């Protein structure tokens, strides 16, 4: 099990245990983290699962692939540490990962 922390826009922290191989988005939805909508169910087709990866973790998480970059064009207030959480897969290396939920999804 890998520990993930979501920080909602109002500052509320959600610490959850995530299964390796699942996506960060799936864990947000399963645990009712507010502000993650995931309209397309993880197909990288809606940009409503946008998160900011905590600066400490950007290297471990890595950057988006081309398709995700394209979808990020539709997100709100995109920053260098923006990712679509359905495209981040949970693994041992991400134990302790912290992501922030933006003010709103597009």
Partner 1 sequence: MAETARTDVLIIGAGPVGLFAVFELGLLDLKCHLLDILDRPGGQCAELYPEKPIYDIPAWPVISGQELVDRLMEQIRPFGAEFTFNRMVSGLERLDDGSFRVTTDEDEHFEAKVVVIAAGGGSFQPKRPPIPGIEAFEGTGVHYSVRRMEDFRGEDLVIVGGGDSALDWTLNLAPVARSLTLIHRRPEFRAAPDSVKKMFALRDAGKIDFAVGQVGALRGEKGQLEAAILKTPDGEREIASTRLLPFFGLTMKLGPIADWGINLHENLIPVDTEKFESSEPGIFAIGDINHYPGKLKLILSGFHEAALTAQAAKRIVHPDEKVVFQYTTSSTKLQKKLGVA
Ligand X SMILES: Cc1cc2nc3c(=O)[nH]c(=O)nc-3n(C[C@H](O)[C@H](O)[C@H](O)COP(=O)(O)OP(=O)(O)OC[C@H]3O[C@@H](n4cnc5c(N)ncnc54)[C@H](O)[C@@H]3O)c2cc1C
Residues near ligand FES (CB under 6 A) are 25, 38-40, 42, 44-49, 71, 84, 86
Residue 45 interacts with ligand X (CB under 6 A)? yes
At CA 23, angle to CA 17 and CA 2, rounded to 5?
25
Ramachandran quadrant class, 41 (left: phi over 0; alpha: psi -120 to 50; beta: rest): left
Binding mask 69-88 for partner 1 (x = CB under 8 A): xx-xxx-xxx-x--------
Please choose which of ligand FES, partner 1, ligand X, none residue 56 contacts, taking the beta carbon within 5 to 8 angstroms, the exact cut-off set by kind: none
Residue 106 interacts with partner 1 (CB under 8 A)? yes
**DSSP classification of residue 28:** H
Question: In whole angstroms, how far apart are CA 25 and each of 38, 39, 83?
Answer: 7, 11, 11
Residue 43 interacts with partner 1 (CB under 8 A)? yes
Residues that bind ligand X (CB under 6 A): 40, 43, 45
């Amino acid at each position: 099990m890998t520990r993930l922390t979501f920080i909602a826009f109002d500052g509320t922290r959600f610490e959850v245990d995530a299964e390796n191989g699942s996506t960060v988005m799936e864990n947000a939805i399963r645990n009712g983290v507010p502000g993650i909508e995931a309209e397309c169910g993880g197909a990288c087709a809606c940009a409503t699962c946008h998160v900011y990866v905590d600066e400490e973790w950007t290297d471990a998480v890595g950057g988006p692939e081309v398709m995700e970059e394209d979808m990020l064009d539709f997100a709100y207030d995109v920053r260098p540490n923006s990712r679509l959480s359905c495209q981040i897969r949970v693994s041992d290396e991400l134990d302790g990962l912290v992501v922030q939920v933006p003010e709103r999804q597009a």
